[in-house]
Amino acid sequence: MKQRYFIRISFKGTNFHGWQIQPRAVTVQGTLNKVLSTVLREKIETTGAGRTDTGVHAKFFVAHFDSNNKQLDNDSSIIYSLNSLLSPDISVNKIIKVSGDDHARFSAISRTYEYHISRIENPFEKEFSWYIYGALDIEKMNEAARLLENINDFTSFSKEHSNVKTNICNISFARWDDYGDKLIFTIKADRFLRNMVRAIVGTMIKIGRNKIMISEFKKSVEKKTKKGFTAPAQGLILTDIEYHVNIN
């Protein structure tokens, strides 16, 4: 019987069409499957903690796979071999043995994202942040962010025709932090819908520019209508996934 493993990776999403395998497209999952199969000398198919869209980054991403290869019990040598073959845009950080019913997606307790906004033109930040010119009312943006913790139905921030069974999500934390030249929005929830964080950020920016009032924001959520727009992918970074097993 094969043993199940969790593999923790980081990736820069700029040159990938997201995590999930797609026909005629370079994806993180496809690249990882190929290199794992080569190193372990057996066909490996990974299952990821979720989908990340084209251009979205992950400091912390988890997938699981099943294998008969006992070398995996010495993860340091395997990790070295994997990283020597992988694209420079992907790195394997850890591999741990888990039980057969542990699942990278369905066993996740929470996920945390950051969205980075640059207040100045910075060539070193262009792949990892969205440059915005002009003043933003951070207090109003944080007022709206606090309201998210009392919302359950996120239809207003969902991508149409995404084939999900429910738009219910439970947000436990949402806040904007101002670091002068950079703004960082941090949001933690049990699950996220496709494009949800980027849609929230786009709406928050309109609030920060006084183009949407807080009262309008509340109304649009209640009526499940959309008031904002989707922020660019490059500013979004998956920073943590929590499980009952320790994968740090």
Q: What is the DSSP string of 19-80?
A: SS--TTS--HHHHHHHHHHHHHTS----EESS---TT-EEEEEEEEEEE--GGGGSHHHHHH
Backbone angles phi, psi at 57, to 5 degrees: -105, 165
- List CB contacts of 202: < 8 A, sequence separation 6 or more: 228, 229, 230, 231
Catalytic residue among 53, 89, 177, 190: 53
User: How do residues 14-49 score in pLDDT, each as one tens digit?
Assistant: 999 999 999 999 999 999 999 999 999 999 999 999
Please confirm, yes or no, whether 153 is among the known catalytic residues: no
User: Do 3-106 and 112-240 show the same overall fold?
Assistant: yes
Residues in the chain, total? 248
pTM as predicted: 0.94
Domain at 112-240: CATH code:
3.30.70.660
Cα–Cα distance for residue pair 64/103, rounded to 1 Å: 7
Q: Which fold has domain 3-106?
A: Alpha-Beta Plaits (3.30.70)
* Mean pLDDT within 88-98: 96
Q: Is the pLDDT of residue 247 over 90?
A: no
Residue 23: how many CA atoms within 13 Å on its side-chain side?
Answer: 0
Domain-wise residue ranges, the chain = 3-106, 112-240
Given pLDDT bands bounded at 50, 70 and 90, which one contains residue 163?
Answer: low
Give 4's strand partners. 66, 98
Q: Is the pLDDT of residue 248 over 90?
A: no
Q: Is 218 exposed, middle or buried (0-12, 13-18, 19+ CB in 10 A)?
A: middle
